[in-house]
Structure 1
Amino acid sequence: MKTPLAWKNLVHNKVRTTIGVAGVSFAVILIFMQLGFLGGIIHTATQIYDALEFDLMLRSPAYLHLTEARSFPRSRVFQAASLPEVEHAQPFYLGLSEWQAPAAAKPGPSDDSSLSPESALEAEGDWRAIITMGTDPQDPAFNREDINQEARKLSDATFVLVDVKSKKEYGPANKEKFSEADIGAETTLGPQRVRIVGLFELGTGMASNGACLTNPAGYIRACPWQTIDDVTFGLLKLKDPEEAESVRQKLLDIYGIPSSNEQSGLSLAPVNQSNTNVEILTRQQALDREEHRWVHETPLGQIFTLGVWVALFVGVAIVYQVLSTDIANMMGEYATLKAMGYGAKYLTKVVLMQAVLLAVVGYIPSLIISWGLYRLVEHLSGMPMNMTPGIAALVLVLAIVMCVLSGLAALRKLYQADPADLF
């Protein structure tokens, strides 16, 4: 039976090993958190798209990101609806408006569209930017029945639904989270008075900590700079989603947009073309471009990507110090092994195995601690932090690579072990 020399080396000096495991755990937790934040950005950037029902999306070619989407003529949506391959086409409105937090939530009858003059005095809270969406209550644009069911309550332009994930700064009655107690409360959205008639759960975007939903007329009241004939998105549901690319090409021909005028790749720079007032994207293209925008073209995504590399560098430095100190303290033992006939290949294997063991032992508590931190951050900030199997596996691989690199760097000291030093 072979002696597990790498393991014996670790448990020989428990204090030094504990310090090494703590260092590895610290670096691994840093990696977990950076990847968690990065994943949260990706999820937040596309969560509204994820909830919409469409196979093809029409949007302005000057689109920048979700809350700076610009607009295009609604007639383009009606043109698309004429294709036999299109099962359903509908306009969708989205933009940033201003929300005044209700000072007090006084329930009232949700079927009464009149707003009391006195209610204006009740809404004296702070103003906040809020994502405002507009959809037809008779034909909601979402692929989730819970949201569609609530959206059917939007029978009047003064009615709104509030996202329960909106932050407490938006004025929930319990000072923490919007709930049934807020239904009937009146406040100001944009320049007009509105009444909360229901709630939905979706999640806010990167540009705002709150979201609300109203009908198209209500959206125009909240965002008066946009007209009912200028829509943000055209959502096309196809009879056969597999035909998305062929239908897209037909629409390009109908709209008179040459393929050569299309933007290539994931570039998100707004274009300025006189013969182009609409851009056509498949669902996957829309998701990919939004993700690319926030992860690769904004400082936010780049910071967390850089954070992963910084955490790896910190981990390599810590583990190198542990392994190199361990080798220096046991130089005589390694020299004895060389004198007994063990070659550099075997000794290299011992050091690298010791590094892998450090990675695995340090990874286990890091996984548990990071899961707890994910839940804490999600609770405090509202950013979705999901410990997926993919993230867990990726961090384990990165931890092993980090420790192996440290082991390779520490081998220089091992090769200095000389049997002649024993005499």
Structure 2
Amino acid sequence: MSLTFTLASRNLFHDRLRLVATLVGVVFSVVLVMIQMGLFLGFGRMVTTMIDHASADIWIVPRGAKCFEDPSMLDVKLRDKVASIEGVASAVPLIVGFSDWRLDNGEMTPIFIVGADLRDQMLQPWNVVEGRVDALSQGGAVAIDRSYFDRLGAAGLGSTAEIRGRRVKVVALTDGIRSFTTTPYIFVDLKSARLYTGTFPERASSIAVRLKPGADREEVIRALRAQVGDVEVLSSAEFRSRSRSFWLFGTGAGAALFAGALLGVIVGTVIVAQTLYSSTKDHLSEFATLRAMGSSNRYIYNVIIYQALLNAVAGFVIAGAIGAAVVQLTARSALPIVITPWLIVALLVLTVTMCVASGLGAIIRVIRIDPATVFMR
């Protein structure tokens, strides 16, 4: 095995320019797939950020609601029925919706209001770096993320603006709560949310349900579905899955990301296959000599496969370093790239498969060599 590996590495590093071209193909393919899939994972996390940070076990939403941001409304009186179900600890109505943020100079930008009763602590700002969440109970108080300072014309705590003609003041700042639609999230209390979104007092966007310790979630869900009527009762996992499916596949965003990843695989495989084939073709006389000396086909195949594996490992290491740098650079961007351990493993398998598959073309060329050609030179 060591002799085979030595021959493969020497053959590979003999023409360094060709080696660089091969590695460029591998790195380009892996980085492109990594970034596309990292965007897919990052997008998938961002679309469910509110669901993930809410302390709800069950969600009651209007029938047909596709995601947390869905503008549909339900009757807030359902809260009393929900609270009466055995195993329910609390039922909290939430108000969400789009509004407008107007600066003193008249400039306006769209915003997304998130409102809940702060006493229940069902959904409130997290990663608060300045100010206090309980200050949101004051009239006209809002919490914003500091990554949206430029969009909102804010400079920090105490900044002011208008929402639907009502004066508001920033009393809390968060770090890292970004919207996948680039529309800033604005946290307020439930009463203010109704004013800023124009929601009637008897309506709510959803009802978040927290269960008592030890309660059977599935049993509570069945009881709720039998009691609440023409709405949908979803576990947090179901609501999260529905939201991801809508934004990733219902809007075509997921298909575009997958198409980019597939393009990377195709382009990278073609480049690597062409380079490996060309390299093998340039060394046909050496392979013919090995066959004339009695080397088995298996030995020669192993040399070619080892070359492909060396390309895969070297290319993956370089691509991994580039990917790590990209993750750091996008960590605070509007759409951070997320690379998980299973994605790294999958990319390693993909890289090895791509390079080995590319080497098959070279193997097919080699097995057609007539060993007698070495004596004709």
Which of the five TM-score ranges fits, normalised by the shorter chain? over 0.9
Query: Aligned partners of 2:183 and 2:227: how far apart in 1?
Result: 39
Structure 2 counterparts to residues 249-398 of structure 1, below 5 A:
249-256=222-229, 276=230, 278-379=231-332, 381-398=333-350
Query: Aligned partners of 2:367 and 2:205: how far apart in 1?
Result: 66
2:88 — aligned with what?
Answer: 86
2:99 — aligned with what?
Answer: 97
2:3 — aligned with what?
Answer: 2
Contact 1:166 1:203 in 2 (8 A): no
Residue of 148, 170, 182 corresponding to 1:166: 148
* TM superposition shift of 1:416: 2.2
Report SS of the residue matched to 2:59.
strand
The Cα offsets for residues 8-34 of structure 1, whole Å up to 9 and x where unpaired, read as: 221121221122112211111111111
Tell me the amino acid that sits aligned with residue 158 of structure 2: G
User: How many residue pairs align between the two structures?
Assistant: 372
* TM superposition shift of 1:369: 1.4
CA shift in 2, pair 1:242/1:413, >3 Å: farther
The Cα offsets for residues 94-141 of structure 1, whole Å up to 9 and x where unpaired, read as: 1111112x4xxxxxxxxxxxxxxxxxxxx1253222111111122221
* TM superposition shift of 1:382: 2.5
Report SS of the residue matched to 1:129.
strand
CA shift in 2, pair 1:128/1:17, >3 Å: same
Structure 2 counterparts to residues 109-124 of structure 1, below 5 A:
123-124=104-105
Give the TM-score normalised by the residue count of structure 2. Answer: 0.92
CA shift in 2, pair 1:365/1:245, >3 Å: same
* TM superposition shift of 1:84: 2.3
1:153 — aligned with what?
Answer: 135
The Cα offsets for residues 367-397 of structure 1, whole Å up to 9 and x where unpaired, read as: 1112212222344x32222333222222211
Contact 1:125 1:171 in 2 (8 A): no
1:136 — aligned with what?
Answer: 117
* TM superposition shift of 1:68: 2.3
Contact 2:82 2:228 in 1 (8 A): no
Query: Aligned partners of 2:223 and 2:261: how far apart in 1?
Result: 44
CA shift in 2, pair 1:405/1:71, >3 Å: same
Contact 1:355 1:404 in 2 (8 A): yes
Query: Aligned partners of 1:145 and 1:132: how far apart in 2?
Result: 15
Query: Aligned partners of 1:201 and 1:377: how far apart in 2?
Result: 15
2:158 — aligned with what?
Answer: 184
Report SS of the residue matched to 2:50.
helix
* TM superposition shift of 1:239: 1.6
1:12 — aligned with what?
Answer: 14
CA shift in 2, pair 1:307/1:209, >3 Å: same
2:203 — aligned with what?
Answer: 230
**RMSD value over aligned CA atoms?**
2.1
Contact 1:161 1:200 in 2 (8 A): yes
Query: Aligned partners of 1:25 and 1:49: how far apart in 2?
Result: 36
Residue of 47, 50, 63 corresponding to 1:48: 50
The Cα offsets for residues 206-244 of structure 1, whole Å up to 9 and x where unpaired, read as: 3333111111111111111x2132111211111246621
Query: Aligned partners of 1:46 and 1:134: how far apart in 2?
Result: 16
Report SS of the residue matched to 2:55.
coil
**Which consecutive residues of structure 2, in runs of 5 or more, have no partner in the other structure?**
none
**2:377 pairs with 1:404:** no
Percent sequence identity is 26
Query: Aligned partners of 2:366 and 2:126: how far apart in 1?
Result: 64
Report SS of the residue matched to 1:194.
strand
Tell me the amino acid that sits aligned with residue 298 of structure 1: T
CA shift in 2, pair 1:146/1:321, >3 Å: closer
CA shift in 2, pair 1:167/1:384, >3 Å: farther
* TM superposition shift of 1:202: 5.1
Report SS of the residue matched to 2:180.
coil
Higher deviation after alignment, 304-313 or 405-414:
405-414
Query: Aligned partners of 2:51 and 2:245: how far apart in 1?
Result: 14
Contact 1:85 1:239 in 2 (8 A): yes
Contact 1:161 1:197 in 2 (8 A): yes
Query: Aligned partners of 1:43 and 1:388: how far apart in 2?
Result: 12
Query: Aligned partners of 2:149 and 2:368: how far apart in 1?
Result: 60
CA shift in 2, pair 1:191/1:208, >3 Å: farther
Tell me the amino acid that sits aligned with residue 363 of structure 1: F
* TM superposition shift of 1:360: 0.6
Contact 1:150 1:198 in 2 (8 A): yes
Report SS of the residue matched to 1:89.
strand
Tell me the amino acid that sits aligned with residue 328 of structure 2: R
**Which consecutive residues of structure 1, in runs of 5 or more, have no partner in the other structure?**
103-122, 174-181, 257-275
1:270 — aligned with what?
Answer: none
CA shift in 2, pair 1:66/1:208, >3 Å: farther
